[in-house]
Amino acid sequence: MGVADNVVRAPAAARPTPVPNPAALAPLLDVNGVTLQYKTRDHLVTATYRVDFQVFASDRFILLGPSGCGKSTLLKAVGGYMKPVEGHIALKGREIDRPGPERMMVFQEFDQLLPWKTVKQNVTFALTASGKSRGSAAEKQALYYIEKVGLTKFADSYPHTLSGGMKARVAIARGMAMEPDILLMDEPFAALDALTRRRMQDELLRLWDDTRFTVLFVTHSIPEAVKIGNRILLLSPHPGQVKAELNSNGHDEGEEGERLSDRIHALLFADSVEEEPVHD
């Protein structure tokens, strides 16, 4: 075995958790005892109940749970679009009380881009409208991230000429170009066909390898959670409560990934068993 054998990169599948440095020991995002409710005319819907979790720098933190368990609501609250009725949410120690460019949102919908602006203009507009940068600096920054998602050739195309996967890439480029402290992704690939979805998951991991951004990623897909996440918060429904927090190494294949999937299935299954009537 030569010396070179020691420097061969670990395969992409085995993604080591970054070694923490002292500055990274404080959580970037602290969600503490958060209860979120919707008040409609006739009802009070408790979407989440006393949810706790902490996201650290460079985490790929997953909120996983069945539809209706309050994942989007939690993300909205972190985004600053909704206030907890109980508990606190803080970013870098500061309470979140409004939306801000340090928390960029990427949604599942394909129509989150401005249809009358090109790819480049969509990304540039986010930078200029938020005051993040201006003029040629904004354009340069936009093109840098458009290149990162492999869309350089389509920089001057309009959204309606792009496929779903390409639109998702533009939305990711726009989010990343803002260089937020945390990227909030709400089922960003859920509306894509299975093959494109897998490709986008791979691309997101490649981008993460490249820039080590922090992402809070919502999904109801167990394989997606196991593949994307380094940490997975499992939520139980009605109202959404923390069921478990699991570590993952970001493999969707192999024994370890399978074990983790099985564990998540078992935890979700335990829920439905509890709901069965007890006969004795």
Ligand X SMILES: Nc1ncnc2c1ncn2[C@@H]1O[C@H](COP(=O)(O)OP(=O)(O)O)[C@@H](O)[C@H]1O
Binding region for ligand X (CB under 6 A): 38, 40, 45, 47, 65, 67-73
Report what 69 binds from Mg ion, ligand X, none; CB cut-off 5-8 Å by kind: ligand X
Task: Name the residue nearer to ligand X (CB basis): 12 or 85.
Answer: 85
Report the partner that residue 148 touches, choosing among Mg ion, ligand X, none (CB closer than 5 to 8 A by kind). none
CA distances to 48, 94, 125, 202 from 208, in Å = 29, 25, 24, 10
Q: Which residue number, 41 or 279, has a Cβ lying nearer to ligand X?
A: 41
Single-letter code of the amino acid located at 54? Q
Query: Nearest approach, Cβ of 263 to ligand X (angstroms)?
Result: 20
Angle at 72 between CA 30 and CA 123, to 5 degrees: 90
Kindly report the number of other CB atoms within 10 A of residue 4's CB atom.
7
Q: Which residues contact 39 (CB under 8 A, 6 or more apart)?
A: 45
CB of 104 to Mg ion, least distance (A): 17
Q: Binding mask 198-217 vs Mg ion (x if CB under 5 A, - otherwise)?
A: --------------------
**Other Cβ atoms within 10 Å of 254 Cβ, number:** 11
The whole-angstrom separation of Cα 36 and Cα 50 is 8
Reduce the secondary structure of 55-75 to three states and give it as a string.
Answer: ECCCCEEEEECCCCCCHHHHH
Contact 58, 229 (CB under 8 A): no
Exposure string over 107-140, b if 16+ CB within 10 A, otherwise e = bbebebbeeeebbbbbbbbbbbeeebbeeeebbe
Between 38 and 116, CB nearer to ligand X: 38
165 touches which of Mg ion, ligand X, none (CB within 5 to 8 A by kind)? none
Nearer to Mg ion, 72 or 124 (CB): 72
Q: Which is nearer to Mg ion, 51 or 149 (CB)?
A: 51
Q: Which does 204 bind (CB under 5 to 8 A by kind): ligand X, Mg ion, none?
A: none
- Interface with Mg ion, residue 121, by CB under 5 A: no
Q: Which one, 35 or 72, has the nearer CB to Mg ion? A: 72
Q: From ligand X, Mg ion, none, which one binds at residue 141 (CB under 5 to 8 Å depending on kind)?
A: none
1-249-173-218 Cα dihedral, nearest 10 degrees: 170
Per-residue mark of binding to Mg ion, 45-84 (x: CB under 5 A):
---------------------------x------------
